[in-house]
Amino acid sequence: MSGGGPPRKRNFKIEAFKHRVELDPKYAERTWKVLEHAIHEIYNHNASGLSFEELYRSAYNMVLHKYGEKLYNGLESTMTWRLKEISKSIEAAQGGLFLEELNAKWMDHNKALQMIRDILMYMDRTYVPTSHRTPVHELGLNLWRDHIIHYPMIHGRLLDTLLDLIHRERMGEVINRGLMRSITKMLMDLGPAVYQDDFEKPFLEVSASFYSGESQEFIECCDCGNYLKKAERRLNEEMERVSHYLDAGSEAKITSVVEKEMIANHMHRLVDMENSGLVNMLIDDKYEDLGRMYTLFRRVSDGLSTIRDMMTSYLRETGKHLVTDPERLKDPVDFVQCLLNEKDKHDKIINVAFGNDKTFQNALNSSFEFFINLNNRSPEFISLYVDDKLRKGLKGATEEDVEGILDKVMMLFRYLQEKDVFEKYYKQHLAKRLLSGKTVSDDAERSMIVKLKTECGYQFTSKLEGMFTDMKTSQDTMQDFYAKKSEELGDGPTLDVHILTTGSWPTQPSPPCSLPPEILTVCEKFRGYYLGTHSGRRLTWQTNMGTADIKATFGKSQKHELNVSTYQMCVLMLFNSSDGLTYKDIEQATEIPSTDLKRCLQSLACVKGKNVLRKEPMSKDISEDDTFFFNDKFTSKLVKVKIGTVVAAKESEPEKQETRQRVEEDRKPQIEAAIVRIMKSRRVLDHNSIVSEVTKQLQARFLPNPVIIKKRIESLIEREFLERDKADRKLYRYLA
């Protein structure tokens, strides 16, 4: 009704003029009969003979003459009667025809209902709202629900039929999905409540028991991988079922039933399954199965955490085994390589199967952090691994390969809690590499330093960088030295000095041995030159770190060039003047510390193929009563013979202790500095807060022990940097 049309309000006025239609008392009855007949005809598919206008006008007039109620009640009872008839015919339908019949009748009813609503439109429009009755269409649906769907002989049978069909489909039979679709749509049309109460709820219950049974059966006879495959298939089937013939709202419900029955209820058993559970999948790199487990378990609450926990405990277990396996500890390079392989393997699993899930990555990282720090030699080994790579391992590798390996090492480094220990070892190993000129690639060395710098800051690497600078200036100094003094030196031995800044290098103060006179003169000349150009400096010789190339002639005038350490050179030079010397003689002449001397004699006399000395009596070890002779019969295919000192690449137990001690010593000032920094800004703080703040500040380098922090605090109190609060003994004050 718009613009020009008369407003509906005036209807009431019009009624006053209704007298022109005759008010026959039988009029209502007669008109109703016409309509009732029409309704029957509509149900009988005979509507073509009816005039819509006539029926509409009849209904219109009845409502207009206040027979609306009669019309409505008449409609209700007529429809009810028709539906009861229909219910009988549906009930009579046998077996498979039942649903067909129900569906056909439903279609009929729907069509008839629409026609009836159309002819009774006027009643729907005026009588129904004013007297608060149910609109015709809804009335039709309600009657259908009450007299067909809830009819005892149909109700149960309908549900059973539907559930049976679904069960048969689950067992692999093909069913009429179109029919199912129509029936469930009918239930939905009757209202979501009808669908839910009369179908969905029992459907879910039956599904739950079905899947509970099936999952029980599967889990008894399948391995984990197969079970998951089956569960995934079932889940997809149910989703497909919903999309084909159930209401979309059921999807979440039925999938949650499947998830609960097939996954959540068996989660732990699946993960723990022997020979095929999570651990085996991880071991065998079963990316597909793991991926399936991930996507399925993600659907249920706690699913992923179950996988994660299991993975974490597995990683910790194997990791712990790995880092404490004494066999592994024999070869540090292999040890680190193992760790890297392990990390690569699980990275790939997380990437491929677990969708790069951040929480899994975190779990992996924390596991590594956990077990790497279980072994306090990890920092040393990681440094040794880098040492090995930078000495020889990287030969022929491209720049990217080098970067790749170093990046991986850095990853392990990040897990370390005692980064300062790593620094200590790294310094030692770097020093050895630099001094012996063994480093493969300067670029790789620098790249590693840059990485450490970005990871831990300038402080961490400043000394390492100082070492590189020293190497460079030494080279320049040596060039200058030879340019200026070459005529003075004559034919004497060539000297190559590395001038190392004290503090930057991991030098152990060791008493210099007495050098052979030939060498000593050159050294003195250099000392003169150096102190002449740089006044105010002190030069000490680190004879324990040098190397020497010496030429030796053996029995059959065989000439060899021997590459030995400074100590070994000193020992060998003694044999220029005598053929046989006792241990005591050597010790006296060279003043080499006894442990070093033993080691150096061992490598000269006891290593096969490199035994330029002969020992009496013959044995593997050096004892203080041994006598040594120049070995005339020494032969070697090589002109250049490298005589390594028997130094364990790995530190021996006392050395380890020593390093640890030094690390602890180094930590003290760092802890104190941190305490002072904190107290300076806070002025007053309680003990526990200090400990936690200090731990936080130093975390990047090491994990300080609370007991040690306490000792440092006490020491600071003694030195009057801090004082205890007079009232509260737990509080400390900063004294400026």
Partner 1 sequence: MMGKGGEAAASAQHKEENEEEGDMVGVVKLISAEGFEFVIDKKAAMVSNTLRNMLTSPGGFAETREGEVRFPEISTAILEKICQYFYWSLHYASGKETAEFPIEPEITLELMMAANYLDT
Helix, strand, coil abundance in the chain, percent, nearest 5: 70, 5, 25
Cβ at position 152, least distance to partner 1 in Å: 32
Q: Which of 2, 94, 535, 557 touches partner 1 (CB under 8 A)?
A: 2
Q: Which of 4, 396, 490, 509 touches partner 1 (CB under 8 A)?
A: 4
| Lookup result for tokens 């997809």 | 236
Cβ at position 244, least distance to partner 1 in Å: 27
Cβ at position 79, least distance to partner 1 in Å: 15
Whole-angstrom distance, CA of residue 517 vs CA of residue 554: 23
How many Cα atoms occupy the beta-carbon half-sphere of 136 within 13 Å?
28
Question: b/e string for 132-155 if b means 16 or more Cβ within 10 A?
Answer: ebeebeebbbebbbebbbebeebe
Bridge pairing between strands 722-724 and 731-734: antiparallel
| Lookup result for tokens 């073509």 | 48
Q: Tell me if 16 contacts partner 1 by CB under 8 A.
A: no
Alpha-helical segments (H) within 416-457: 419-436, 442-456
Q: Of residues 91-130, which lie at the interface with partner 1 (CB under 8 A)? A: 111-112, 114-115, 118-119, 121-122, 125
Cβ at position 110, least distance to partner 1 in Å: 9
- Residues 45-84: x where in contact with partner 1 by CB under 8 A, - otherwise, as a string: --xxxxxxx--xx--x------------------------
Q: Tell me if 575 contacts partner 1 by CB under 8 A.
A: no
Cβ at position 50, least distance to partner 1 in Å: 6
How many Cα atoms occupy the beta-carbon half-sphere of 7 within 13 Å?
3
Cβ at position 178, least distance to partner 1 in Å: 21
Number of residues that bind partner 1 (CB under 8 A): 31
Q: Tell me if 40 contacts partner 1 by CB under 8 A.
A: no
Structure tokens at 148: 């067909």
- Judged by beta carbon, residue 125 or residue 453, the one nearer partner 1 is 125
Q: Which of 1, 23, 221, 618 touches partner 1 (CB under 8 A)?
A: 1
Cβ at position 75, least distance to partner 1 in Å: 16
Cα distances from 204 to residues 48, 210, 256, 563, in angstroms, run 45, 10, 10, 84
Q: How far apart are the first and last CA of the chain?
A: 91
Q: Tell me if 42 contacts partner 1 by CB under 8 A.
A: yes
- Judged by beta carbon, residue 122 or residue 481, the one nearer partner 1 is 122
- Judged by beta carbon, residue 55 or residue 349, the one nearer partner 1 is 55
Cβ at position 111, least distance to partner 1 in Å: 5
Residue 440: strand, helix, or coil:
coil
- Judged by beta carbon, residue 2 or residue 553, the one nearer partner 1 is 2
Whole-angstrom distance, CA of residue 566 vs CA of residue 520: 12
- Give ∠ CA 247-252-257 in degrees, rounded to 5: 110
- Judged by beta carbon, residue 38 or residue 271, the one nearer partner 1 is 38
Task: Specify the stretch interacting with partner 1 by CB under 8 A; choose among 10-18, 266-274, 584-592, 631-639.
Answer: 10-18
Whole-angstrom distance, CA of residue 235 vs CA of residue 629: 84
Structure tokens at 253: 């419900």
Q: Of residues 17-36, which lie at the interface with partner 1 (CB under 8 A)? A: 17
Cβ at position 268, least distance to partner 1 in Å: 58
Q: Tell me if 6 contacts partner 1 by CB under 8 A.
A: yes
Q: What are the DSSP calls for 573-589, one per residue? A: HHTTT-SEEEHHHHHHH
- Judged by beta carbon, residue 53 or residue 579, the one nearer partner 1 is 53
Q: Tell me if 541 contacts partner 1 by CB under 8 A.
A: no
Q: What are the DSSP calls for 495-532, one per residue? A: -------TTTS-PPP-PPPPPPHHHHHHHHHHHHHHHH
How many Cα atoms occupy the beta-carbon half-sphere of 42 within 13 Å?
26
Q: Tell me if 3 contacts partner 1 by CB under 8 A.
A: yes
Q: Of residues 671-690, which lie at the interface with partner 1 (CB under 8 A)? A: none
Task: Specify the stretch interacting with partner 1 by CB under 8 A; choose among 7-15, 197-205, 456-464, 654-662.
Answer: 7-15
- Residues 175-214: x where in contact with partner 1 by CB under 8 A, - otherwise, as a string: ----------------------------------------
Q: What are the DSSP calls for 330-386, one per residue? A: T-HHHHHHHHHHHHHHHHHHHHHTSTT-HHHHHHHHHHHHHHHTTSTTHHHHHHHHH
The counts of H helices and E strands in the chain are 33, 9
What residue ranges bind partner 1 (CB under 8 A)? Answer: 1-6, 8, 10-11, 14, 17, 42, 47-53, 56-57, 60, 111-112, 114-115, 118-119, 121-122, 125
